[in-house]
Amino acid sequence: MRVYDRAAGQYREEKEYGGKSLKFLYSTAIGRVLLKIFFCRGIYSKLNGAFMKSPLSVYKIRPFIEKYGIDMSRCEQTDFKSFDDFFTRKCAVEADCPEDGLMAPCCGRLTVYPINESLALKIKGSVYTLAELTGGGFDLSDYGGGSCFLYRLAVEDCHRYVFFDDGEVVRSEEIKGVLHTVRPVSERFRVFSRNHRVCTLLRTKRFGDVIQIEVGALQVGKITNHAVKTFSRLDEKGFFSFGGSTVIQLFKGSAVSVDGDIQSCSERGVEVLVKTGERVGERTKCLKD
C-alpha cells in the first residue's frame, strides 16, 4: 500500500498485516460467507481479544516489533504481560504544533474529505451521510461545507488517542455494529457506517463544536474512552484494543483549514503518515479571538 511519509518527504510502500487472509475474506465467495457468519461478529473479536490478553500471546511481541520496525524508545514500559498489553502501550507524546494549529489526535494515515452542503462525504468510493456516521443523534446543521479528518490506524501504530484542544465533553453515544477491516480491501462494505463506533461531541476552545468518532475494526476487542467531563490538549481520550482502527473528526463549515501537503495528497487519494501532536491544519481567521 502506497502512502506519503511526511517526515521523510517521500512516498513508500507499507507492509499490510494479514493481507493474504483479508484478501481471501473480502475477495472470495467463501470468504465473504465466513465474514458474515463469524469474523465480523463480536464473538470473534471477543475470542481473539481473550487470547491477545493472555500470557500465551507474549511470544508474538518481539517478531512483530522486528517485522514492522517499531520504535520503542518513546514507550513508557518494556515489560509486557501479553500482546494486548504491548498493543495498548503508552508512548510519550508532545505537541509539535502552535496554539492556533490543529494537531493530530493519534498516530495514523490521514486523509481529509470535504463535507458537502447535503451533509454527506465521499470516502474511498462510498458516500456516507453524517447521520449514518453518527447514528442520527447529533445536531449536524452547521457541518455542511466542513471537513472530515480520517485517521486510519494500522496495527503497528500506538493505539492511544488524545484530545487535540482544551474543552469539555458534551455527550457521547456508543453505536453497536459489526467489525469489518478499515483497510481498502473492504471498500464495498461501507464500513464506517456499519462498524461498532463511539461518537462524542466535543466543545473545544479553539475549534468550536467537533464530533469525534472512534471506529472499531476486524479483531478489535474494545474501544475504551476515559470518563472525563473537561479536558486539556494532549490529555488521553482513550485507546483501542488489538486490531486496526479509525478516528474520525468532523469540523463545522469554516472551522479549520488543512495543511497544503495533506490537502494535495487527499485530493489524489493518498494517505499521509502523521504522528500524535503533529500539526495537520490550523484554526481559520473567522474563529480567532
151's enclosing H/E stretch is: strand 147-153
pLDDT at 128: 83
- How many Å from the N-terminal Cα to the C-terminal Cα in the chain? 42
**Residue 248: which of 275, 226, 215 has the closest Cα?**
215
> Pairing between strand 230-231 and 147-153?
unpaired
The model's pTM: 0.84
118: Cβ–Cβ under 8 A, 6 or more apart, which residues?
Answer: 129, 144
Residue 31 half-sphere exposure, CB side, CA atoms within 13 Å? 12
At residue 284, the pLDDT reads 86
What does DSSP assign to residue 104? Answer: P
Task: Quote the CA–CA distance of 127 and 266 in Å, as a whole number.
Answer: 16
- Residue-by-residue DSSP string for 112-132: EEE--TTSEEEETTEEEEHHH
Q: What is the pLDDT along the chain (289 residues), one digit of tens a residue?
A: 789 999 889 998 876 654 555 454 445 655 554 444 444 555 556 666 677 889 999 999 999 899 888 888 888 888 899 998 998 999 888 888 988 899 999 999 999 999 999 888 877 667 788 998 898 889 999 999 999 999 999 888 899 999 999 999 999 999 886 544 444 433 444 566 567 789 999 999 999 999 999 988 655 557 899 999 999 999 999 998 876 688 999 999 889 999 999 999 999 999 999 999 999 999 986 555 4
